[in-house]
Every structure is written in C-alpha cells, then in structure tokens.
Amino acid sequence: MNQVTSLDSPKEDKRGDRRERLRDFQSQLLERMQIARSSDAVSTNQLGVMVGKTRYLLNLREAGEIVAVGQISPVPLTRDWYLGLLNLRGNLIGIVDIQRFQGQDKVEVDVESRIIAFSSGLSFNAGLLVSKVLGLRNVGEMSAIENPHDHSPSDQPFWLKKSYEDSNNQVWFELSFANLIQDSNFLHIGL
C-alpha cells in the first residue's frame, strides 16, 4: 500500500486561513445586507465602500452582488472609464471605474478590490469597481454635511445625493445607482 502524506507549508496554511476569513467576512456581510434589505433599516444602513481615497455609501436596495475582480474583457472604442464586460453568473455586466468617470486617476486593482453589481431591480447590467468594501455603515450615527462642496470636487454630480461625516471625521458621499443610470454621460460609453 502506498500511503501519501501531505505536508502543507506554513505559507499555504496562512493563505488558506486568509481565504477562509475573507469568505467568512463576505458571507457575514451578505447575510447582514439581506437582513437590512428586508427591514426598515435600509434608509440608515448603507454599504460603505472606498474608491481610491473617497468613501461612498450605497443604498442596499440599489447594490447587488459583491464579487472579486475577475477577468474583465475590454470593449474597443469605449471611454477609458468603461473597463469592459464581466461574466457574472452567466450575465454580462459592464464594469465602470467611477473614479475615472469623474475625471480622476484610474482605480488601482489589488486583492481588496471588488465589483459591486447594480441590483437586478434597476434593470441595468452594470457594476462599479471599488478599491475596498468597508461593510455596513449606519447613516443615522453620522452628521449630514450642509455644504458638501467643501469636501468634494466642484460641480458635484446629481447622483451624489448627500454627504455625511462620521464620528472619526471621515467624509462619506451617498452615491445613488438609480440616479447614476439617469446621467447621459454615464450612458454614453462609446468614443
């Protein structure tokens, strides 16, 4: 009888542990999002994400699935902020770099980067590239900023609904997917 023994290296164990913790975090976050969607807390609990150095809040009814950045297929003759198409469970969704869309530098993709798909309720097959998912944030514990232009680029777009400041003096911008898909510039991806 040949007996095969496996000696896992500590490096593989650490990677496996990290993947397991990431899976646990994502499943807990998904569970919390589903609970929050089904309750009255949707207006106060929003998904916090980072895009570059900017913090955004996403309405849980507008945000869909959160997935790792996979193979995005570029589409020729499109704007530089339109990254291409991603196959998400058999559906092609267009991926947008919202930071580049606003005229800033491209988002750097790393291990923490994610795609936030638009909710199926919006009937718009798209997703945003984000630098990092920060989890649920309670807007009720934040202070509304009266003049958001003090904290953002001038000519704030209409799809950035409100701005908030948390207890750590961090500024958050409420990004509305429903309003974003009404922006004619967002809808015109072709050169």
What pLDDT score does 35 carry?
58
Tokens found for residue 136: 């649920």
User: Nearest Cα to 29, choosing from 12, 53, 40, 45?
Assistant: 45
Location of structure tokens 């790393």: 110
Alpha-carbon gap, residue 164 to 143, rounded angstroms? 5
Write the CATH number of the domain with boundaries 10-187: 2.40.50.180
What pLDDT score does 60 carry?
92
The residue ranges of every structural domain in the chain are 10-187
Q: Say if residue 88's pLDDT is above 60.
A: yes
Reported as type and span, the H/E element at residue 185 is helix 184-187
Alpha-carbon gap, residue 188 to 22, rounded angstroms? 36
What pLDDT score does 93 carry?
96
Q: Say if residue 169's pLDDT is above 80.
A: yes
Mean pLDDT score of the chain: 84
| Dihedral angle over CA of 111, 62, 97, 82, nearest 10 | 120
CA of 108: how far to CAs of 18, 22, 44, 151, 153, in Å?
21, 20, 30, 22, 20
| Phi, psi for residue 80 in degrees, rounded to 5 | -70, -20
